[in-house]
Amino acid sequence: MLRARPSHRLASAAAVVAATGAALLAGSSPAAAATCSDVDVVFARGTGETPGLGVVGGPFVRSLTGELSDRTVTSHAVDYAASSSQASAGPGATAMSAHVREVAAACPSTRFVLGGYSQGATVTDIALGIRTGTTTGTPVPAELAGRVAAVVVFGNPLGLSGRTIATASSTYGPKSKDYCNSSDSVCGSAPKTGTGGHLSYASNGSTTDGARFAAGLVRAAGTPTTPTPTPTPTPVPTTCVRDSTRDHVAADRAVSLYGRAYARGSRDSLGATSSYNVVSLQQVEGGWRLVTAC
């Protein structure tokens, strides 16, 4: 019975969001341009909202763009159903992580800010690899975690289980922030961050504060470094001489000791000093060594 309450709360909140969405919906930022940006904001809207960034994502992206006026910022609205059953969160997470993978591959210097509102926050949770117990999806690959500069969510249903991203993910927790208003039952017992209910994040300063938080982390992260390819060593020219043992000694490629010759440096034995046997010596660092043939 305890598990039934979150669904009821989420469904109720979804109805309110859907009913008031037309009045509150902010214009979505354009999708990522063909050229690479410094920062790409990937945001998932709430349940029942019209496709786009949504009533919270729009103001958040605009505020973040203003905070990072010295950088190029693009945004991407996660393409998912945002259905009232909440089952669409898993496919939404898969869509979010797929976008991150595609942009990361094409744009090695782009940093990401991930976020979501209401069910969109659940989309984000799953994309970060957090188990929510409702649905599953494909997370952002572990090797791209460092490209994600910040995570900001609003009205996260993860709070119904007493968790936040900060407590549920050791990887993304340190660079995340959950906003849960004092009268928002959708985010349950998560620490309260502002006044109002589930529809107040765009009007109570939460989106502005979240943008400042994300901008600070983006600046701290800097620009991703592309590994410098290891240069191919230039082959060192080597000298190989085929001659008699006595001539090697005469040319100082070998030394004579008690009637026997040894390659200088390596001390490889060449036989009797006076021998006319022909042997091959290859020049190496610090001297010569005996080889089969030149």
Q: Name the residues annotated as catalytic.
A: 118, 184, 198
Q: Are 67 and 210 in contact (CB under 8 A)?
A: no
Q: Which residues share a beta bridge with 289? A: 282
Amino acid letter for position 254: A
* Residue 41 to residue 149: CA distance in whole angstroms: 10
Report the C-alpha gap between 241 and 143 in whole angstroms: 52
Q: Where are the beta strands (DSSP E) in 81-147?
A: 111-117
Residues facing residue 236 across a β-bridge: none
Buried b (16+ CB within 10 A) or exposed e, 41-68: bbbbbbbbbeebbbbbbbbbbbbbbebb
